[in-house]
Structure formats: C-alpha cells, structure tokens
Amino acid sequence: MTVKIRLDRMLFERRMSLSELADRVGVTTANLSILKTGRARAIRFSTLDALCVALDCQPGDLLEFVPGRLDDLNDTES
Amino acid sequence: MRALGPQSVSSFLKIALDVVYVAAVGVAAVVGPMIIALLIATPFTHSPLEFKLSGQVWVSPFSNATLIALMIGVETYIVCLVVVLNRIRRIVDTLIMGDPFRPENVGRLRWIGTGLIVLEIATDGLRWLVAHLPQAHPTPRAGESWFNPTAWFAVLVVFVLAEVFREGARLRQEAELTI
C-alpha cells in the first residue's frame, strides 16, 4: 500500500507558493519540498494539523491512498 | 569533558590514533621492501642466512626461508593493523563531528572486524612459526592453547556493533525524513 500526499494540487487550488506555505506552517521549504515530492517517510500530526489550518482543508484532502506495495514506492523514490 | 565533538575525548583519541597509524605505516613501508630485497638477493633455501657487515660475517640463527616467512607474517600483521587503525580513525572523525550514526561507519566497522580476524590468524601463524624454529622458543605447555577467546569475542562484538550502527543510521534517516 502507498499513501501519497497531494500538496502540489492543494497549493495550486489555494494559489499559494511553497515558501508562503512554509512561512505559515513553520516548516522549512526544504522539508516541505521533501513532503511534496513524496520522499518523506512520515508526517507528524502537528505538521498535518498546521497544513490543514494553513490550507483550510481536511487531512483527507492532503492524503491519498493508492493500492500497491510500499517497496514499489521506495523503489521509485531511489 | 565531552565525549563527542571538537575539543572532546574523541579529539585526543584521534591524535593518539594518528601517531600509532603513522608509526605502523612507517614500519610497513620498511618491512615490505626488506622482504622484496631478501627474495631478490638471496636464494629461497633452508640454509642459514649470512650477512657481511664491515668485514665480519654474521650468520642468522634462522634459515632464509624461515626469515622470509617470519617477515611476511609480520608484514601481514602490520598491514592489517594499518587497515584497522585507518578505519578507527575515520570513525573517530565522525565522533568529532558529533555524527557517528552514518551509513559509512557500518562498512568501516565490518572492515575492522575482518581486519581483527586476519590479525588473530596472523598472530597464531607467527606463534606457530616461532614455536617450530630450531632454537628454544616458548611453545604452549600442556593444557595451554593459542586460541584466544577474548580476541574472537571482540571480533563478534565489532560485527554486532556494525549492525547497531546500521540500525542507528536507518533510524536517523527516518527521523530526517519525518516532517
């Protein structure tokens, strides 16, 4: 199974840049970039909470479950 | 005094290791050419080796073949020591930087473990060789063994430590990729 993050789509819908979101959430742009490109291994509840507040959305709007193996995702990352 | 970082115990350890490392490299650099010179200049026989020093003939107590075998054993030992010391120095470098859980340290620890195995085998080989020389040399008494359980246990500990570092490096990477 794989869980993908749809941060780029949410940013586009909110007409918001990554650096602006980084300022609002209090996470570095580099870390948000890791999250956006799907290289992150895990996300803290506090980060998810801050993202939801900044983007005015629900966690389900940010995360998407795609059936498949986690190894497949790791392979594509590396 | 701190254990990690600059001006710590690790820094002093690094200085001591550097001194021993340079000394070991120096000895290896001297013994290696001596073996090659002996192999080229003298026949590989069991007759005693003779040196002419300032007009006087000095006869070696060992045969030429024994001397070369001893020197090869010593050179193997020193080269392994250099490899082990070099890897320890690099690990200590990461300790000085305050970041020991790096994936490279896993490979370094495995090299140290392998080096210790070769060192132990070389030591036993040299002991065996010395014990079988024609002159009176210490040989294991009845009930005494050359097998050194402490050394082999140390080898095992190093390999276990390598796995600990592998897990530490994995956890660190996971923490880095947790946003």
Q: Are residues B177 and A39, on separate chains, in Cβ contact within 8 Å?
A: yes
Q: Is B177 on the interface with A (CB under 8 A)?
A: yes
- CB pair distance less than 8 Å for A31 and B174: no
Q: B31 falls in which pLDDT band (50, 70, 90)? A: confident
Region B19-28 average pLDDT: 93
The reply to whether residue B179 touches residue A39, judged by beta carbons under 8 angstroms, is no
CA proximity to B166, closest of B130, B113, B123: B113
Cβ contacts below 8 Å, chain A against chain B, sum to 23
Average pLDDT over all residues of chain A: 85
Which residues, at least 6 apart from B171, have a Cβ–Cβ distance to it below 8 Å?
A: B101
Structure tokens at B103: 């994936």
Mean pLDDT for the stretch of residues B32-61: 74
In B, minimum Cα distance to A49 occurs at: B179
Q: pLDDT band for B39, please (50, 70, 90 cuts).
A: confident
Is 70 exceeded by the pLDDT of residue B142? no
Contacts of B178 in chain A (CB under 8 A): 40-44
Residue of B nearest to A34 (CA): B177
- Closest among B171, B99, B175, B170 to A40, alpha carbons compared: B175
Interface subset of B 117-136, CB within 8 angstroms of A: none
**Residue B124 vs residue A70, higher pLDDT:** B124
- Given an 8 Å threshold on Cβ–Cβ distance, is A34 in contact with B178? no
What does the pLDDT average to over A43-65?
Answer: 92
Of residues B147 and A50, more confidence is placed in: A50
Asked if the Cβ–Cβ distance from A44 to B178 is below 8 Å, we say yes
Give chain B positions within 8 Å (CB) of A21.
none
Global confidence as pTM:
0.69
Cβ atoms of A38 and A77 within 8 Å: the answer is yes
**pLDDT over 90 percentage in chain B:** 35
Which of A36, A41, A70, A74 would you mutate first to test chain B, the one with the most B CBs within 10 A?
A: A41
The rounded radius of gyration (Å) of the Cα atoms in chain B is 22
**Stretch among A28-32, A51-55, A65-69, B40-44 having the lowest mean pLDDT:** B40-44
The ipTM is 0.70
Interchain CB contact of B59 with A (< 8 Å): no
Report chain B residues whose CB lies below 8 A from the CB of A46. Answer: none
As a whole number of angstroms, the distance between CA B48 and CA B60 comes to 6
> Does pLDDT of A38 surpass 60?
yes
pLDDT digits (tens, 9 = 90+) for B62-120: 777 777 788 888 888 899 999 999 999 999 999 888 888 888 999 999 999 999 999 99
Q: What is the pLDDT of residue B136?
A: 46
Q: Which residue of B has its CA nearest to A27?
A: B179
